[in-house]
Chains A and B, each alone.
Chain A
């Protein structure tokens, strides 16, 4: 197990190098840069800009700058954000927590709803409720995140039930501990619904298909034949096996949730990693872009690794040494 883990971690090194170098080149290729916008700003003197350029190693060859960035990143120093004039590490740390909370909350939301519904529907296939929910699943799968976001924001503003934009209210700091949590949750509801809906539909369909298949399995027939009651047949035999692929999915879902969260944050005006990244891209703030991409990749890789490890724990039949296939 530990040798597998070490090998997997080693595998991540070239992946991370590839991603960061690619991003570095891309941002460098972009026409203009942060300084060219600064130069048009009359409040900055040319000397100041020249000093900043020197400070950020501007004008050195691409490879040299990349290696310098990498060396500093290894020491957990992601450089300074040119636009904010603050440490990128601190900036990302503050924003990433919001994104992770959003992603985990919508995962909890989708899973607690999708799995029971999927099982319920599969136990009574081809009934009216099955057809209706399967149709609704298509509806949910096809509803673009940003469109749902606009619809919900419209309704929220009309009804005044939910706050729009931001992760906390203005007077957040003055609230009591529970008040702060409640305020946080209140702001989370709409983004979680937006982010969770599309994933919920496909999870529900997958669960339904899994349970439908397992219902016909030999061991389920055996369990019934030896007189187990329906509850333990479904709970112990069908459900446990049907959940197996979901462990893998959980890890891969983190990736799509992070990407999805970025768009939702940008559209719904939440202070998260995605919104930060968008700002950074718009102002060509190189180190901030690099930091966000690195953070996103790390979260994604960690998710995939956890998923593979989780699967070997849940299903001992899967040999992690052969899992590379």
Chain B
């Protein structure tokens, strides 16, 4: 990189936002782990009589009904199956039961269902699908970053520390990787995924593809750091003491790059989330009946459908909020750990 290093940004009083982001991320990951408990219904459960149902309204119960639940909702009825308009039956009160039947909140088995964020065209509860989808959308970033950063650290530190022809070869490979038009190449790669693969297998193929595309930039930065660390006094001392190359790389070079790694990893997670979303959105990633946030947004590609059922955009809000939280946390870490890092490599 040739550009100058921008000055350290003045530390902004972002504490509240950063803490909020951390809490939000913890919450989201907890939800992903406890998905079957948090989701009121199963994510594949279809209510064929309630397609494209708008979000149910949630009301507070007044005193005489407190024995039922503090919240209740009114059931929706399909008024016109052609243009899928609904009427709300205000005469019936359906209590929302908490910690009931192995769910955080749900409705009783015989009661009409309630849909916090509406349903999709097959009558599946969108909120439950978002909760289950978070498992894929949230883990893809972490797993992808782990893989690509492991490769990047390995190649970068080895090339940078060794120098010479090893460095030359590694950097040529990195250059080819970085010259790939990444999205075009990702599309071509995604075509390789056999359509009959299970969702878990598809998940790992997607992670592998995106790691394969993303490791190069990182390897190049680590290589630069390793090349300068190799002249450090403690590395020279280790060499003089007769430590082997691998020992020096693992014990002395890699730890020196760690603070950069942590920052870059946090800021790279959004790229993986976006990549998976884009692929699934275009129908090349996660397949039905499984859900990821991007897959859920695929319905919105039909503009007419989107205008009549705007709640199908909700998964996008989740993607947006998650990415923003990662950006806030990553930016904060950069302020704290690495004052010299460039400000421009987040996107």
Contact = CB atoms under 8 A, between A and B. Distances in A.
Given A125-B10, A245-B4, A263-B278, A27 B191 contact: yes
A158 interface: yes
A150 B2 contact: no
A15 B179 contact: yes
A263 B346 contact: no
Q: Say what secondary structure dominates the interface of chain A.
A: helix
A147 B298 CA distance: 11
Interface residues on A, range: 35 or more
Contact of A30 (B4, B191, B319, B324): B191
B270 interface: yes
A91 B224 CA distance: 42
B183 A210 contact: no
Nearest to B273: A144
A267 B344 contact: no
B191 A297 contact: no
Nearest to B2: A248
B192 A210 contact: no
Q: Chain A CB within 10 Å — which of B1, B283, B319, B347 has the most? A: B347
B7 A141 contact: no
A123 to B, nearest CB: 14
A202 B278 contact: no
B320 A142 contact: yes
Interface stretch (A173-181, A223-231, A276-284): A276-284
Nearest to B184: A296
A26 B191 contact: yes
Nearest to A283: B191
Interface in B181-238: 181-185, 187-192, 194-195
Contacts of B1: 248
A293 interface: yes
B2 A210 contact: no
Contact of B3 (A30, A157, A245): A245
Contact of A144 (B184, B192, B284, B319): B319
B313 interface: yes
B306 interface: yes
Contacts of A154: 303, 306-307, 310, 313
A188 B176 CA distance: 32
Contacts of B180: 19, 297, 300
Nearest to B182: A259
B282 A293 contact: no
Given A125-B10, A266-B282, A281-B190, A318 B2 contact: yes
A245 B300 CA distance: 38
A134 B12 contact: yes
B94 interface: no
Interface string B291-302: 000000100110
- Which of A18, A144, A164 has the most chain B CB within a 10 Å cutoff? A144
Contacts of A138: 324, 327-328, 331
A152 to B, nearest CB: 11
A218 B300 CA distance: 54
A150 B297 contact: yes
Given A26-B189, A300-B179, A147 B310 contact: no
Contact of A292 (B184, B194, B300, B301): B184
B303 A256 contact: no
Contacts of B316: 144, 146-147, 150-151
B274 interface: yes
Nearest to A312: B2
A11 B175 CA distance: 10
B194 A209 contact: no
B277 interface: yes
Given A23-B185, A147-B316, A249-B344, 20 more contacts: A19-B180, A19-B185, A23-B188, A27-B188, A125-B10, A131-B12, A134-B12, A138-B327, A150-B306, A202-B346, A203-B344, A205-B344, A206-B342, A212-B9, A213-B4, A213-B7, A274-B184, A281-B187, A281-B191, A282-B283
9 contacts: A18-B176, A27-B192, A29-B192, A30-B192, A139-B324, A142-B327, A209-B9, A267-B281, A300-B181
Interface of A: 11, 14-15, 18-19, 22-23, 26-27, 29-31, 125-126, 131, 134, 138-139, 141-144, 146-147, 150-151, 153-154, 157-158, 164-165, 198-199, 202-203, 205-206, 209-210, 212-213, 216, 244-245, 248-249, 255-256, 258-260, 262-263, 266-267, 274, 277-278, 281-282, 284, 289, 292-293, 296-297, 299-301, 304, 308, 311, 318, 323
